[in-house]
Amino acid sequence: MKLHDTPSTENLPTYRTPPISGNQINGLGIKEKNRPKRVFHALWRTDFPWAGMNAFFIMNNPWELLWEALKYRWNMRRSTGPVARQRVEVNAPNEMAQQLKEKAKEFGTGIVGITEIMPEDLYDDVELNYRYAICIGVPMRREEMLHVPHARAGQEVQRCYGEVGGVAIELAEYIRSIGWPAYAYGDPRSTDILQIPLAIRAGLGQLGKHGSIICKEYGSNVRLSTVATNIPLALDKPIDIGVDDLCIGCRRCTMDCPPNAITDKKQWVRGEYRWYVDFDKCVPYFTATYGCAICIEVCPWSEPDRGTKLSQMLLVKRNKNGSSPDRVGSLTYRV
Ligand code: SF4
Ligand code: SF4
């Protein structure tokens, strides 16, 4: 993908008195496992250090983009609801997992996987009584996303959140209709959970150097939602499609990120050694450019129909060379 008309990094929103570093809040450099703290993307809340920047991000959006966000928010009122009294008993969790995946596809998902929810997936102010996460991914329209980092691409991101959130709502409603509790989580602003690590463990993809998930099917040109539930389900496993093999040598996102927020080395973040994007450098540019997304669109994996062949090529090359990349921390994510 060729970038054109990229706004400069001058005149970005700043604080007169900067809050505590987002990198510190995210646990950069911390080798012990910890639960994440809220740092950005927490709708309706003001009790976190970067709330001002978050409010500016919302207010800075043009009307078309806000309209998509409002439609989405209205639909998400159906995240939860009454559970049918008559419960369908589950004797074979693998069959139920298959059934729900087929339902998710019927409702419009592109990719779906299941994992268990761990304490590290939840913000430190959240208690959640759900055991399983059904992770859902839907691609964005590439022709719209080629307009990053402008409002047109931001509007497509919001539209896609509406679509992927809609799948989660319908799936959660279906699970409740067969007598099991379920809650639909949509975009990062509505959520108690970290969607990317769950989706990685559920086998949807791997973490890229740009801090986002990379799927074989859509590259990083994808948005996620999650259904949290207690219906007994068989779990999926993380996958290895060769993301690290390419990221170790590729510098496309590093070079194209205007504020130089992407680094070529993995780092310790809350007990995991992994790719990490500098929050303090990324977020002002992200805020000024309607969610930026340059890094996920320039990534070679995001070229349509490229991922499967790219994965095969990388894995064949790895086997031939008899070497494996530094995969420590490949089950990791951006916060
Ligand atoms: S652009 Fe290159 S380095 Fe960046 S995430 Fe994609 S493959 Fe990895
Ligand atoms: S989203 Fe952040 S990390 Fe990605 S290119 Fe934009 S500023 Fe850089």
Domain range list for the chain: 24-321
Which residue's CA lies nearest to atom 4 of ligand 2?
Answer: 295
Which residue's CA lies nearest to atom 2 of ligand 2?
Answer: 282
Res. 257 pLDDT band, cuts 50 70 90 = very high
Q: Is the CB of 246 under 6 A from ligand 1?
A: yes
Res. 330 pLDDT band, cuts 50 70 90 = very low
At 190 the pLDDT is 62
pLDDT of 19-30, one tens digit each? Answer: 999 999 999 999
Q: How far does the centroid of ligand 2 lie from the alpha carbon of residue 16, in Å?
A: 23
> Cα separation of 271 and 63, whole Å?
41
Q: Is the CB of 277 under 6 A from ligand 2?
A: yes
Least confident of 6-15, 166-175, 238-247, 266-275: 6-15
Q: Is the CB of 286 under 6 A from ligand 2?
A: yes
Pocket test for ligand 1, best of 265, 294, 301 (most atoms within 8 A of CB): 301
Res. 335 pLDDT band, cuts 50 70 90 = very low
At 331 the pLDDT is 41
Q: Which H, E and C letters describe 211-231, residue by residue?
A: CCEEECCCECCEEEEEEEECC
Higher-pLDDT residue of 245, 45: 245
> Cα separation of 290 and 58, whole Å?
9
Q: How far does the centroid of ligand 1 lie from the alpha carbon of residue 100, in Å?
A: 32
At 70 the pLDDT is 86
Beta bridge partners of 214: 206
Give CB contacts under 8 A, 24+ apart, made by 38-46: 38/123, 38/125, 39/279, 39/335, 40/279, 40/283, 41/187, 41/188, 41/189, 42/189, 43/73, 43/189, 43/190
Q: How far does the centroid of ligand 2 lie from the alpha carbon of residue 2, in Å?
A: 16
Average pLDDT over the chain, rounded to whole? Answer: 92
Q: How many CB atoms lie within 10 A of CB 107?
A: 17
Q: Is the CB of 219 under 6 A from ligand 1?
A: no
Q: How far does the centroid of ligand 2 lie from the alpha carbon of residue 283, in Å?
A: 8
Least confident of 149-163, 169-183, 317-331: 317-331
Least confident of 56-60, 92-96, 147-151: 56-60
User: Using CA of residue 193, residue 114, residue 137, residue 261, what is the dihedral sign?
Assistant: positive
pLDDT of 304-329, one tens digit each? Answer: 999 999 999 999 999 988 766 654 44
Task: Provide, rounded to the nearest whole percent, the portion of the chain with pLDDT above 90.
Answer: 76
Q: Which residues are CB-contacts of 10 (< 8 A; sequence separation ≥ 6)?
A: none
Which residue's CA lies nearest to atom 4 of ligand 1?
Answer: 253
At 334 the pLDDT is 39
> Cα separation of 12 and 246, whole Å?
32
Q: How far does the centroid of ligand 2 lie from the alpha carbon of residue 116, in Å?
A: 30
For range 214-232, the mean pLDDT: 97
